[in-house]
Amino acid sequence: MTHQTAVNHRPYLAFGFVITAFLTIIWLVKSPVFHQNLSALSAAITVDLLLTIPLVYAWLIRKTRVSKFTIAPLVMAGMFSASYMVPAGHQQWLQLFKLFGFPLMEMASLTLVVRKFMAVRRQFSQGCAAGDDFFDVLKKACYATLPRMLAAALTSEISVIYYALINWKTYKPALNQFTYHKNSGTPALMGCLIFLILIESAAMHLLVTRWNATAAWILSGLSLYTALQFFGYARSLNKRFITIDGEQLELRYGIMAQTHIQVHHIDLVELSGRDVPADAKTRKLSPLGQLESHKVILHLNRDHVLHGLFGKRYRIRALLLHVDQPERFKTALDAPQSPKWGVTPP
């Protein structure tokens, strides 16, 4: 087994170790041996749950992609487990940890979060200074400094708020950029969804208020935030265009989907709205799927990755998309260097 293979197996080893250790402790607590040596084993189990298991886990996940943030929930799980497994009269070590160890862990976690935040802010500032797209800069900064799942969630949530409430500029596509929302029914569909969410939220609020006012406001808040997300998705459509830059094709669908393709990896640009047989590697650029029609089918000569919402990734070999000017788009792909790229005249 090579060193790299061993490193790749470490996350599974770490997970297996934690499960085995907790199951062993549960078995020990329920065995007669535990009650015969109550004082000594209570102290040993407390130390194992709070220190030994987290430290071994931290050692196993070093130099892997597993986030160090996962150590804190493991310590929390150990603390709650010790509260239930160890008899109340033998929890002096647990109480000492709650009094001194837990506050230190909170401070360490907070320090790590602040450091990560500052790193994201630094990366974001550098990208913005270069004049890059907001979503691309934010995504690059988050993925460079945070665990993948956390980076995907943070990128999505911040972008929704930015496009829904902050960025109200009107952008004009350059000659090498293409819109996909003007002749599409997606903005109207998004508007209908937002309207339905608001109507349903008002009706549910009145019904749930009769039972519990707090629950009614919580449900209304969640509904309003869902409507805000759809609003942010809709507003991002006219801010992020499809772009051809020489041999590079950047396909975007607001902040909901994106992929990067080199033009020489495209076998065929088919101008068609025909139905394509379902296939694991055939997808629409739009996450709305069959709710939105397509005008262009890109047939690729190798697999590419389509990035969706919340970091979801799909392998694609054929991509269906809507473009407002499909003929001009096909011409540009057939001869990407021929147009004189630049901003369209007013």
Whether the pLDDT of residue 344 is over 70: the answer is: no
- Compare 114 and 130 and report the one with higher pLDDT: 114
- Compute φ and ψ for 181, nearest 5 degrees: -115, -15
- The Cα 20–Cα 11 span in angstroms is 14
> In the predicted model, what is the mean pLDDT of residues 99-111?
74
Q: Which of 122-126, 174-178, 185-189 has the lowest mean pLDDT?
A: 122-126
Q: Name the residue with tokens 């669908």.
A: 253
Shared domain for 191 and 83, answered yes or no, is no
Residue range 333-343, pLDDT digits in tens? 887 544 444 43
Shared domain for 191 and 326, answered yes or no, is yes
Q: Which of 36-40, 270-274, 287-291, 292-296 has the lowest mean pLDDT?
A: 287-291
Q: Which pLDDT belongs to residue 1?
A: 46
Residue range 204-258, pLDDT digits in tens? 888 888 888 888 888 888 889 999 999 999 999 988 999 998 888 999 999 999 9
Whether the pLDDT of residue 314 is over 70: the answer is: yes
Q: Which pLDDT belongs to residue 205?
A: 81
Q: What's the mean pLDDT when you consider all of the chain? A: 82
Q: Which pLDDT belongs to residue 128?
A: 57
Shared domain for 209 and 338, answered yes or no, is yes
Q: Which pLDDT belongs to residue 169?
A: 84
Shared domain for 205 and 313, answered yes or no, is yes
Which of 58, 90, 122 terminates a domain? The answer is 90
Shared domain for 30 and 178, answered yes or no, is no
3-state SS, residue 20: helix
> In the predicted model, what is the mean pLDDT of residues 61-68?
76
Q: Which pLDDT belongs to residue 7?
A: 54
Take residue 17 and report the two structure tokens written for it: 């170790």
- The Cα 122–Cα 7 span in angstroms is 30
- Compare 99 and 199 and report the one with higher pLDDT: 199
Shared domain for 188 and 313, answered yes or no, is yes
What is the residue range of 77's domain? 3-90
Q: Is the CA virtual torsion 50, 52, 58, 61 positive or negative? A: negative
Total domains, the chain = 2
> In the predicted model, what is the mean pLDDT of residues 19-25?
91
Shared domain for 199 and 306, answered yes or no, is yes
Whether the pLDDT of residue 151 is over 60: the answer is: yes
In the chain, DSSP assigns E strands to 177-178, 242-245, 248-253, 257-262, 266-271, 282-284, 296-307, 313-321
- Compare 239 and 123 and report the one with higher pLDDT: 239
Q: Which pLDDT belongs to residue 135?
A: 86
- The Cα 195–Cα 222 span in angstroms is 15
* Domain membership flag for residue 140: no
Q: Which pLDDT belongs to residue 201?
A: 86
* Domain membership flag for residue 118: no
- The Cα 137–Cα 158 span in angstroms is 12
* Domain membership flag for residue 331: yes
Shared domain for 201 and 336, answered yes or no, is yes
- The Cα 41–Cα 47 span in angstroms is 10
- The Cα 114–Cα 192 span in angstroms is 40
> In the predicted model, what is the mean pLDDT of residues 285-307?
87
* Domain membership flag for residue 162: no
Shared domain for 86 and 190, answered yes or no, is no
Shared domain for 201 and 337, answered yes or no, is yes
Whether the pLDDT of residue 321 is over 70: the answer is: yes
* Domain membership flag for residue 113: no
> In the predicted model, what is the mean pLDDT of residues 161-167?
89
Q: Sort 85 into a burial class: Cβ within 10 Å, 0-12 / 13-18 / 19+.
A: buried
Q: Which pLDDT belongs to residue 259?
A: 92
* Domain membership flag for residue 340: yes
| Pairing state between β 296-307 and 248-253 | unpaired
Which of 63, 90, 117 terminates a domain? The answer is 90
Q: Which pLDDT belongs to residue 260?
A: 92
Q: Sort 239 into a burial class: Cβ within 10 Å, 0-12 / 13-18 / 19+.
A: buried
Which of 61, 90, 119 terminates a domain? The answer is 90
Q: Which residues contact 180 (CB under 8 A, 6 or more apart)?
A: 237, 241, 242, 253, 321, 322, 323, 324
Q: Which residues contact 85 (CB under 8 A, 6 or more apart)?
A: 25, 26, 29, 45, 49
- The Cα 303–Cα 323 span in angstroms is 22
Q: Which of 333, 176, 178, 324 is CA-nearest to residue 268?
A: 333
Q: Which amino acid is at 78?
A: G
Q: Which pLDDT belongs to residue 338?
A: 43
Q: Which pLDDT belongs to residue 257?
A: 92
Whether the pLDDT of residue 189 is over 70: the answer is: yes
Shared domain for 71 and 174, answered yes or no, is no
Report the 10 Å Cβ neighbour count for 15. 15
* Domain membership flag for residue 132: no
Shared domain for 34 and 181, answered yes or no, is no
Share of the chain above pLDDT 90, in %: 18
Q: Which amino acid is at 308?
A: G
DSSP-assigned states of every residue in 201-246: HHHHHHHHHTT-HHHHHHHHHHHHHHHHHHHHHHHHTTTS-EEEET
* Domain membership flag for residue 323: yes
- The Cα 66–Cα 12 span in angstroms is 10
Q: Which pLDDT belongs to residue 340?
A: 41
The confidence band for 11, taking pLDDT boundaries of 50, 70 and 90, is confident
Whether the pLDDT of residue 125 is over 50: the answer is: yes
